[in-house]
Amino acid sequence: MLTMRDSIRCLHVLLAAMALFFPLLFSPPARAEAQTVTVGVYENAPKVFTAESGKPAGIFIDIIEHIAKTEGWELHYVHGTWGEGLSRLEKGEIDLMPDVAYTAEREKVYSFHRIPVLNGWSQVYARKGSGIQSFLDLNGKRVVALEQTIQLETFRRLASNFALKITLIPVPDYKTGFQMIADGRADAGVTNRFYGLMNGRKYGLEDTPVMFDPAPFFFAAHKGLNQPLLDAIDRDLAALKKDPKSAYYASMGRWTTEEVQFKLPVWLDVLGLVLGVALITSLAGAVLLKSQVKARTRQLEKINNDLTESEQRYRHLFEHNPAPMLIYQRGTLEMLAVNDAFVNHYGYSREAALSFLLTDLYPDEEKEKIATMAAGLKGLAYVGEWHHRKADGSIMTIMVRSHDIEYWGYDARIAVISDVTEMKQMEDQLRNVNETLDNKVRERTAQLEQKNLELEGVNEKLKELDQLKSMFIASMSHELRTPLNSIIGFTGILLQGLAGTLNDEQRKQLSMVKGSSQHLLELITDIIDLSKIEAGKITLTIEPFDLAALTRDIVESFRVTADRKSLKLIVEGSERLRIESDMRRIRQVLVNLVGNAVKFTDEGEVRIAIGTDADSAVVAVRDSGPGIKAEDMSKLFQYFSQITSADLPKHEGTGLGLYISRKLMILLGGGIQVESEFGRGSTFAVSVPLQREERA
Amino acid sequence: MKKILIVEDNEKNMYLISFIIGTMGHQVVQAKTGEEGVALAVAERPDLILMDIQLPGIDGLETTKRIREEGITAVPIIAVTSFAMSGDRERLLAAGCNGYIEKPIDPGTIKDEIGAFL
């Protein structure tokens, strides 16, 4: 089956070559300047091989040398294996590779000229007496074949078609293959008729009746670059083949008859078996011929069947294709065929559809355009978007793919139609949604940009306000305190009787003035501290001092108040504890803690313990006061929070003391810990690091 | 009876301090600015100076420095500062002050402090 098809294609190639060849006869002669042409050489005597002299030889070499002489080319040869040659050709390292069988696959990679240099076929060779008479006899055998060849591929396919288990051994050259058969490492080998004819006997091999794959052989060129070379080869080959006395026929004769015509070995002659051999040969020839005729007949029948089957397959493909399809005659635009899907989808009866012109399917505004378009589509595949009218009058958007077809002798075009109406509608909707979204995004972006601008403005204003706040605090710290200082100062003078004696009521009321003024001053001072801490503007003055002495000093200042409430005020622990910190801030914190303890404890004691733990100085203030409920502990260090309870009397305070104290202790690298049990008392412990960390 | 120079810009504070010192039986010399303070310190040769630190124009620290530069080194100068400033003890001592009193002024404190230097 393959042989037949290949022969037909070969004929096509020849015809095409002829068509090309005639006008070439009248084209100007080859260019005069010497052109270097690089040709690959591999070992496949007698077609192409390296002679003992080291020079390339063989049929292809004879021919290309002749052409080179005619064309004025300078030839360079690059020796290698078949595979190397092909890969060099593909990379463009060589211009021509000889002895390349044409295939459609190869034409994608290489360019071919059109007139074959020679026709050959593949044949199986085996050791003498192998008994291989047909393809089936190769079952279970090891067969060598040249790697990267059509031969190998065809043989593999044949083997699989016949479901034969053949071990295929690819070899780089025929010589290796033949040697392997001779050595018994393989049972048979596929080779071309030329090589077998010339070399089989050397290895003690003989041809078997297994022949296949006749093929035309060409020079192949690097794809796309060497068209002038190929044209020249065709031109010269045509001339060579026309003249029976040309170098072409001389070479064929030389390589396939003169030298290859083997002489009978001496021992055969001696044994006088010449006749016997001739007889066996002719008998075998007759058998072979008969079987070949039978095989050919079977193949023709099969081809016929194949054609019928193939036509049915294509008809089925058209008729039952789920996509609507139509065929129209080019020129007249008459409809020639429509398939079932077309009838179903469009709603026209087949008869109606076949009475249409192609343009009848199109809405008025597209009729002229499609007629012009259809006229210009010869030889081109086409894809386009159009509109078709259905039988119910509705218009659908279609995507059409069309290409040329020959239909019952008509020059026609087949079109495959996809109804994309819904898709189009969805696309439109999507586009609308997209546009709406785009607009919204743009609008929103503009709004956000505006907002950003506004925010920048607000930010600027906030910065200004913050500046103003800082200035306000700085100025307030002085301005608020000055009159208060005055009030407190004069109240003090009056209370001390420096300006005259006071009666008891006057003393009592003035004490209230002084108390309230002092409270107000504390409040102002706390608020200023708070602002400074929040703004990070507090400055610390670190100096060495005795924490124990400071603590005792502070405790003493509360002695009078404690005595008045009959509270025991006890100091215990270290007598001397030198640390480096901000003394005034530590004082502020301790005053707050001791003050709170004295203020909130009505009976019992306030006990102050001075000491150290691992790396801190610790002053713990423990009282026997009301204690703090577990749920109130978290509020303890919030600002403006005073824990109130129905059980507790309301105490005067700023609500800022503990908050500021904790912030200050954190700034100083220490902290405040609280333990309390409601109803039993509280312990506030201040810790200050013994070793001050150096600040960078 | 000793002569005490008070440098203080605030009228009420001036009156307050002067009153307390008056009850102690000392003579008071009043200066309302730093420059006036330096001039009176040179002219009057007081036995003690009470120096407000937050003065308009040249402040109390600068005034103290200038007085010391006039060669008046033996006269004790007691700084009168607001609570917020009192942390800068080092600065006060470096400028030439001998002690300090925090506002609000307590008559007892001021008497004790002056008593300690005279």
Nearest to A481 by CA among B103, B51, B77, B97: B103
pLDDT at B25: 93
Please indicate, yes or no, whether residues A510 and A551 belong to a single structural domain of this protein. Answer: no
Strand-strand pairing, A681-689 and A671-677: antiparallel
Q: Among A405, A412, A411, A536, which Cα is nearest to A469's? A: A536
Do A336 and A378 have their domain in common?
yes
Which residues of B fall within a CB distance of 8 Å from A493? 16, 19-20, 107
Give CA separation, B85 vs A250, A262, B54, B91, B102, in Å. 124, 128, 9, 10, 9
Regarding whether A102 and A250 lie in a shared domain, the answer is yes
A525 with A465, same domain: the answer is yes
Query: Does residue A649 have a cis peptide bond before it, meaning omega lies within 30 degrees of 0?
Result: no
In angstroms, the Cα distances linking A22 to A19, A72, A111, A365 are 6, 22, 21, 49
Task: Give residue-wise pLDDT tens across range A417-445.
Answer: 988 888 888 888 888 988 999 999 999 99
Set of chain B residues whose Cβ sits within 8 Å of the Cβ of A557: none
pLDDT band at residue A306 using 50, 70 and 90 as cut-offs: confident
Q: Among the three residues A463, A496, A529, which one is the final residue of a domain in this structure?
A: A529
Of B13, B105, B107, the CB nearest to A498: B107
Q: Are residues A39 and A110 in the same domain?
A: yes
The tokens 């990379």 sit on which residue? Answer: A91
Residue A129 lies in a domain: no
Q: Total domain count for chain A?
A: 4
**What residues in chain A have their Cβ under 8 A from chain B's Cβ atoms?**
477-478, 481-490, 492-493, 496, 498-499, 517-518, 521, 525, 528, 539, 541, 543, 582, 584-585
Chain B positions touching A492 (Cβ under 8 A) are 104-108
CATH number at residue A14: 3.40.190.10
Pairs of CB atoms within 8 A across A/B: 68
Enumerate the residues of chain B whose CB falls inside 8 A of the CB of residue A539: 87
Q: For residue A518, give the chain B residue with the closest CA.
A: B104
Q: Which helix (H) or strand (E) holds A112?
A: strand A110-112
Summary mean pLDDT of chain A: 82
User: Buried b / exposed e across A212-232, counting CB within 10 Å, b at 16+?
Assistant: bbbbbbbbbbbeeebeebbbb
Which of A477, A496, A529 delimits the end of a domain? Answer: A529
Contacts of A485 in chain B (CB under 8 A): 13, 82, 103-105
Distance set, CA A565 to CA A398, A562, A676 (Å): 102, 5, 22
Range of the domain at A643: 539-689
A208 located within any domain: no
Residue A261 is assigned to a structural domain of this protein: no
Q: Which of A477, A484, A584 sits opposite B87 (nearest CB)?
A: A584
- Determine, for residues A482 and B10 on separate chains, whether the beta-carbon distance falls below 8 Å: yes
Residues A354 and A396 in one domain: yes
Residue environment code for A554-577, b if the CB has 16+ CB neighbours within 10 A, otherwise e = bbeebeeebeeeebebebeebeeb
CATH number at residue A645: 3.30.565.10
Asked whether residue A616 falls in the same domain as residue A562, the answer is: yes
Instruction: Inspect the interface and report whether the beta carbons of A478 and B82 lie closer than 8 Å.
Output: yes
Closest CA to A15 of A216, A193, A213, A299: A216
Domain check: are A520 and A462 in the same one? yes
Residue B73's domain is classified under what CATH number?
3.40.50.2300
Whether A552 and A525 share a structural domain:
no
Dump pLDDT digits (tens) for A123-149.
888 988 888 887 778 888 899 988 887
C-beta neighbour count of B98 within 10 angstroms: 17
Residues of B in contact with A584 (CB under 8 A): 86-87
Residues A639, A514 share a domain = no
Identify the closest residue of chain B to A529 by CA–CA distance.
B84
Q: Report the C-alpha gap between A670 and A469 in whole angstroms.
A: 29
**CB-based contact A499 B10, cutoff 8 Å:** no
The question of ipTM being above 0.90 is answered as: no
State the total domains in chain B: 1
A163 in a structural domain: no
- Residue A155 lies inside a defined structural domain of this protein: no
Q: Which of A244-253, A266-275, A425-434, B8-17 has the lowest mean pLDDT?
A: A266-275
- Same domain membership, residue A664 and residue A557: yes
Which pLDDT tens digit goes with each residue over B40-84? 999 999 999 999 998 888 999 999 999 999 999 999 999 998 755
Interface test with B, best of A473, A476, A495, A498 (most B CBs within 10 A): A498
Range of the domain at B41: 3-117
CB contact under 8 A, B87 and A582: yes
Residues A550 and A679 in one domain: yes
pLDDT, tens digit, for every residue of A18-35? Answer: 444 444 444 444 444 578
Asked if the model's pLDDT at residue A272 lies above 50, the reply is no
